[in-house]
Chains A and B, each alone.
Chain A
Amino acid sequence: MDRVNKTLITAGLMLITFCGGFPASAALFTAAPLSGNTTCLMSITSDVAGNITLASLDFGPVNGDALIGSAWQVAGAAGTGVNGLRNFWIQLKGCDQWDSAGKTTPKVTMTGQLYTASSGPENTALFRSGGTAKGFGVLLYDRQSSINFGSDQRPNGYPIPIPLAPDTGILKGNYAIPMAAGVSCGAEAWCAPQSLGMGTVNAHVNFELQYP
C-alpha cells in the first residue's frame, strides 16, 4: 500500500508541475472555492418569480404563411412580431461567492443545434434539432420587449449578461434573466415558399452558467 501511495503522490506532483508549477499547494487551495454554498441553483421558469419550472416550451400552432418571404421574423398562431414570442426566465438562485480572479461578471452561455440552411448566409442563430416542418426553427432573445427583429436574435454560443449582477465578478442572491423565443424561418433567403413546409419543429438549447 505504501508503494502505491508513493506512486500516486509522484503523479500528483508531476501534474501540478505541468500545469504551471505553483510553488506551494497551500496557494492552490485558495484559487477556487471548492466547498459547499459556492454555487447558484439554476432553473428555467415560465414566471419571473421562478415558481413554475419549464422543461419544454410548446409554441403550439404557428401560422407559417405569415413567415413566407420574411426576414428574421417570428410568428405565433395569431400573428407575427411580439405576438409570436413566448417569454421565459433563466433563474439563478442562492448564488454566493462566485468570485472570478479577473473580476469579470459571470455570463450564461446558450448553445444548441442549428438549422442547416441549404443556401444563403451562414446560420448562426436559428436553432433546430428535428421535426417534420421544412425550413423553420427557433430564435432566442435575451430580452422580452423592444426587440429589434433582425438584429436582436442571439447566436449559438452567445454569452448572456446577467442583469443587475455586479461587475465585481461576485454573484450574491437571486437573479432572473428575461428571455424570449419565437418560431422563424430566419434569413430572407431561407424564407422562400419553396424552402418552407408545414409540420413539427423541435429545438433544444442548453444554458450554462460560466465565468472566466
Chain B
Amino acid sequence: MINKHFYLSGFLWGALAVVPSAQALPVQGLDFTATVTSTATCTITAEPASPLQLPDTNAVELIGNSKALSGITPLSWVFTGCPKLGAPAGPTFGVRGTLNNEIISSDKVWLSKTSGTSEQFSVVLLNKENAAFIPDDLYKLDGSVVDVAFPGLGAGQPVPDNYALHFWVAMTCGGCQAESAKAGSLSSTLTFTFAYK
C-alpha cells in the first residue's frame, strides 16, 4: 500500500510539471505612501480694514427693544493667492470674541464686548445684512464656531482669487438688563481663524 501512495504522488507531480504557463515564483509587495501639500499661502485682507468703525447709534432705541440691531456694517475677508490645489476638507473658518461679562442671560454666547464706557450694550456678528436677533442670523462668539465651510466651495475645491467671505457687524442691547443699560463707547475684538486642510 505504501508503494501505491508514492506512485500516485509521482503522477500528480508530473502533471503539474507540464503546465505550459509561467510558474508562480517569489512575490514581494511594497506599499507607497505620501502626503501631497501646497506651499502656497493665502493673502487675507479685511475690507474695510480693521478697526471697523460702527456708526453712532441711539441707545434709547436699543434699550427699548432688546431684539433690535443697530448700525449694521459689512465686513468682508478677501482671499488671494491661495493654493491652486483643493484640500480634502475644503477651506473652513471659525470665529470667537470676548463675551460681554455684563450679560447674565443665556444670550451672552452671541454678545461681545472687550472694553468701553457703555454698559449692557454688545457687538454681534451676523451672517446676513437684513438680520434679526435670532440664532439663525447670529454667530456664537464663545469659541464653538469652528470649521465652517466657505459658502459655495465644497470639499476639494481650491479658493479662487478674490473670493470673499461676507459678515455683518451690529450693536444691540439683546440679552441686556434695561435698567442697567448706559450709553457710552463700546469696543469688541473678534478673532477669525481660517483653515485649509
B31 contacts across to A, CB distance below 8 A: 55-57, 202-204
**Count of A interface residues, CB-CB < 8 Å:** 66
Pair A28/B12 contact, Cβ less than 8 Å: no
Asked whether A193 is an interface residue with its Cβ less than 8 Å from the other chain, the reply is yes
Pair B84/A68 contact, Cβ less than 8 Å: yes
Among residues of B, the one whose C-beta sits closest to the C-beta of A42 is B26
Instruction: Quote the shortest CB–CB distance from A57 to chain B (angstroms).
Output: 5
Asked whether A44 is an interface residue with its Cβ less than 8 Å from the other chain, the reply is yes
Pair A202/B33 contact, Cβ less than 8 Å: yes
B38 contacts across to A, CB distance below 8 A: 63-65, 198
Asked whether B28 is an interface residue with its Cβ less than 8 Å from the other chain, the reply is yes
* Contact partner, A29, options B17, B28, B156, Cβ 8 Å: B17
Among residues of A, the one whose C-beta sits closest to the C-beta of B10 is A25
Among residues of A, the one whose C-beta sits closest to the C-beta of B7 is A9
Asked whether B49 is an interface residue with its Cβ less than 8 Å from the other chain, the reply is no
Among residues of B, the one whose C-beta sits closest to the C-beta of A63 is B39
* Contact partner, B29, options A19, A22, A60, A206, Cβ 8 Å: A206
- Compute how far the CA of A183 lies from the CA of B10 in the bound complex, rounded to whole angstroms: 50
Asked whether A133 is an interface residue with its Cβ less than 8 Å from the other chain, the reply is yes
Known: A199-B88, A207-B27, A208-B27. A25 touches B35 (CB 8 A): no
Instruction: Quote the shortest CB–CB distance from A185 to chain B (angstroms).
Output: 9
Asked whether A43 is an interface residue with its Cβ less than 8 Å from the other chain, the reply is yes
Among residues of B, the one whose C-beta sits closest to the C-beta of A40 is B26
Stretch at the interface among A10-18, A116-124, A149-157, A162-170: A10-18
Asked whether B83 is an interface residue with its Cβ less than 8 Å from the other chain, the reply is yes
As a 0/1 sequence over residues 1 to 37 of chain B, the CB contacts with chain A under 8 angstroms (1 = contact) are: 1001101101111110111101111111111111111
Asked whether A72 is an interface residue with its Cβ less than 8 Å from the other chain, the reply is no
Asked whether B158 is an interface residue with its Cβ less than 8 Å from the other chain, the reply is yes
- Compute how far the CA of A1 lies from the CA of B30 in the bound complex, rounded to whole angstroms: 48
Pair A127/B1 contact, Cβ less than 8 Å: no
Pair B28/A90 contact, Cβ less than 8 Å: yes
Instruction: Quote the shortest CB–CB distance from A149 to chain B (angstroms).
Output: 17
Pair A210/B22 contact, Cβ less than 8 Å: yes
Asked whether A61 is an interface residue with its Cβ less than 8 Å from the other chain, the reply is yes
Pair A44/B23 contact, Cβ less than 8 Å: no
- Compute how far the CA of A144 lies from the CA of B34 in the bound complex, rounded to whole angstroms: 19
Asked whether A187 is an interface residue with its Cβ less than 8 Å from the other chain, the reply is no
Asked whether B86 is an interface residue with its Cβ less than 8 Å from the other chain, the reply is yes
Known: A5-B5, A19-B19. A134 touches B86 (CB 8 A): yes
Asked whether B87 is an interface residue with its Cβ less than 8 Å from the other chain, the reply is yes
- Compute how far the CA of A90 lies from the CA of B18 in the bound complex, rounded to whole angstroms: 29
Among residues of B, the one whose C-beta sits closest to the C-beta of A15 is B15
Pair A196/B86 contact, Cβ less than 8 Å: yes
Pair A34/B32 contact, Cβ less than 8 Å: no
As a 0/1 sequence over residues 170 to 212 of chain A, the CB contacts with chain B under 8 angstroms (1 = contact) are: 0000000000010100000000010011111111111111111
Pair B156/A2 contact, Cβ less than 8 Å: no
Known: A133-B34, A197-B36, A204-B32. 6 other contacts (CB 8 A): A15-B11, A57-B33, A65-B38, A138-B32, A199-B35, A199-B88
Could you write out 22 A-B pairs with CB less than 8 Å apart?
A2-B1, A12-B12, A22-B14, A28-B14, A43-B28, A54-B30, A56-B31, A57-B33, A59-B32, A63-B37, A131-B34, A134-B86, A183-B36, A197-B86, A197-B87, A198-B38, A198-B83, A200-B36, A202-B31, A206-B28, A209-B27, A210-B25
B residues lining the A interface (CB < 8 Å): 1, 4-5, 7-8, 10-15, 17-20, 22-40, 83-88, 156, 158
The 4 closest A-B pairs by CB, nearest first: A12-B11, A28-B14, A59-B34, A197-B86
